Amino acid sequence: MDGARELLTAERDEARRRLADLTGSFEEVVAASRDTNADDEHDPEGATIAFERSQLATLVAQVRRHLAEVDAALARLDAGTYGLCETCGRPIDAARLEVRPASRTCVGCPAAAVAGPPRLAR
């Protein structure tokens, strides 16, 4: 797991920067909406402002989830379980960890979960 801590720390720092930027943008949109007509339904700009607020709120939530995933990966690194699939216990491929350093599962386990249990042939 050489370099995993550095990679995860860099991801965490980037997520924190992005969260700060998005939070600032969200606050700007909220402040701008205070200065406009409060009737979103009849104000031609209201729908746009409401959409921007909703979009920014979604992005903030996504970045917060990613930040939590990175923090969890750092905790697994400290616990000595980083790089092991949480489903099957096998090592997660290094290429997957390079692309998604916060991965909790190997490539096969999420696909199996999505596919569901095997079906019996008739």
Backbone phi, then psi, for 36, in 5-degree steps? -110, 175
Measured at the CA of 23, the angle between CA 20 and CA 27, to 5 degrees, comes to 140
35-72 residue pLDDT tens = 655 555 555 555 677 788 888 889 999 999 999 999 99
- Beta-carbon contacts of 18 under 8 Å, excluding residues fewer than 6 positions away, are 63
User: In this model, does residue 119 exceed pLDDT 70?
Assistant: no
User: In this model, does residue 93 exceed pLDDT 70?
Assistant: yes
Residue 35 pairs with which residues in a beta bridge?
none
Q: Has this prediction a pTM greater than 0.85?
A: no
* Domain range summary for the chain, segments of one domain joined by +: 4-115
16-31 residue pLDDT tens = 999 888 888 767 766 6
Topology adopted by domain 4-115: Four Helix Bundle (Hemerythrin (Met), subunit A) (1.20.120)
